[in-house]
Amino acid sequence: MPSDHLYVMSDAVRMAYRAGEEDETLKPRVLFGGNGPVGRIKKGDSVIFYNIRGEREIELTRSLVEEGFHEFVADRGMGLHFTTMIEYQKGLPVEVAFQPEGVIRETLGEVLSSHGLRQVKITEAEKAVHVLYFLNGKNEDPVPGEDRIIVPTRKDVALFDEAPEMSILAITESVIGKIRDPACDAVFVNFPNVDVVGHIENEDAVIAAVEAVDFHAGRIIEEAERAGLDIVVTADHGTVEKWLYPDGAVDTGHTDSPVPFILISTDSGISLREEGELADVAPTILDLLDIPQPAVMTGRSLIEKKGARSRTRPRLLFIILDGWGLSDKSAGNLISRAKTPVMDHLWNGCAHASLKASGEAVGLPEGTVGNSEVGHLHIGAGRRVYSDRARIDRAIAEGSFFTNAAFLKAMRAARDKGRALHLMGIVSFFSSHGSVNHLFALMDLALREGLKEVYVHAMLGRRGEQPESGANYIEMIEKKSRESSLGQVVSVIGRYWSMDREENWDRIEKTYRMLVYGEGDPVKERRA
């Protein structure tokens, strides 16, 4: 592979910015040489999809590896040696570099089930994986006595700033129906609007999303109070309470802010300690319901004192306001700018606490912002759980990353058969879906293993990033490639097209055709 290529792809992304495009929805750019597109995925090649989390990676992976794939026309018999950083889904015909550490047992849902409580989990499809999988300790199957209501995510809008209310009305109606059902002991609901809309640079839409969540939370709380339920309100991480960077640029990513915990109890004498972390939520709920806390739950109940109850065990409404962080600063705080009479009343008039929802408190490296995956996982698990990111970072630091059997198998298959190695994934330091440091470690390993053809297929998404950060990341990769005389960025696309989880197969097909056929805006290869 020539080692004298210039920074052509980063230049192309900057030109796209000038034309009005942005990272998240960037249309595919493909490197072209004298013989057409460079670095296409071909039969027999090795591919490493280095993203983590996994729920947004399943669809693209399926299109490249499943022989019976039928969602759109895809090549059969590619025979790719395909490796994923973590397990995206059981049964995918891929090698997995970092195997799952197993389902987390004795979660909040399991403990409630073991004590005979019937529960329901309600959200819309956009957040289904978090409420059904991560909240249940990475267990895909419902526990005994668990019902699930997933409201369809709207397909009539391209981005949710066009409809910041999303499907919140249908969620609310489903919740009210379950509150009125005396056979349902615990109702779990996730309102996704603040997180989902908060990732879009549209201030008015974000404020509308915050206000919609506040209003609909008020509706279901009123219904629950009439029915005599205890009510817990919390969040999984922060987002729009820190809408601006210090220089005034918009920050559409997650934050390191704490989140609220509010308790409305039929026990009028109850009180809470002021601070905790997400792992304390499950122990608190069990304490509230007078259910013993399992020994594996190392979180601590927030309840400091109880009073007298009118009945032995209340029913429960548990509300997760996805992305609703706490900040005492008004500058750049879109939650404080929105009209939130319900949350204002609850915070000022009910027992409440502030919970850590980022960094080590949720199993992430210190200083790392929170995300929906680890947020829901820790809420349900009631203990700290080390994230895949922390495991991988530790493996790089300790050196075991470079002896990982799955990576070595993929790279040696490419080297020994004279095939190309493709490294595919998000390019970011801050994304919960992966780190450019993981890509760099793979490039270092490929150099050690003596590979000749290494192609990088980059996905961009400005969540928690400075404006035009995508081009800067691409330039960093191009610089590293040039310095090591190995690797070349051959395609770039926005994560909107490549990291879908709602079966928007037209988006995945666009990415597939970029990777395999070289379809996209051509970027002419240049030499020094």
| Per-residue confidence (pLDDT) for residue 1, from 0 to 100 | 44
pLDDT digits (tens, 9 = 90+) for 55-106: 899 999 999 999 999 999 999 889 999 999 999 998 999 999 999 887 799 9
| Per-residue confidence (pLDDT) for residue 246, from 0 to 100 | 85
Read off the amino acid at residue 330: S
Hey, what's the torsion of the CAs at 160, 163, 168, 169, to 10 degrees? -160
58 neighbors 88 (Cβ within 8 angstroms): yes
Structure tokens at 286: 């069990």
Read off the amino acid at residue 274: E
- Give every CB contact of residue 185 below 8 A, 6+ residues apart in sequence: 112, 117, 118, 119, 315, 316
Structure tokens at 494: 């926005």
DSSP H helical ranges for 289-404: 334-337, 341-349, 372-381, 388-398
Domains of the chain in sequence order: 8-99+390-524 (3.40.1450.10), 108-384 (3.40.720.10)
- Determine the Cα–Cα distance for residues 207 and 211; give it in Å rounded to an integer: 6
Structure tokens at 289: 């319901």
All residue ranges of the chain with pLDDT < 70 are 1-5, 309-312, 462-465, 527-528
End-to-end CA distance of the chain: 14
Residue 440, SS3 per DSSP: helix
pLDDT digits (tens, 9 = 90+) for 133-167: 999 999 989 999 999 999 999 989 988 999 999 99
CA distance to 316, 321, 486, per residue, from 232 (Å): 8, 11, 53
Which residue, among 38, 37, 39, 64, has the nearest Cα to 49 in the 3D structure? Answer: 64
Which residue, among 343, 376, 333, has the nearest Cα to 357 in the 3D structure? Answer: 376
Tokens 């400005």 — which residue? 462
Tokens 């949710």 — which residue? 160
Helix (H) / strand (E) containing 196: helix 193-198
**Beta carbons within 10 angstroms of residue 86's beta carbon:** 21
pTM as predicted: 0.74
- Determine the Cα–Cα distance for residues 93 and 81; give it in Å rounded to an integer: 10
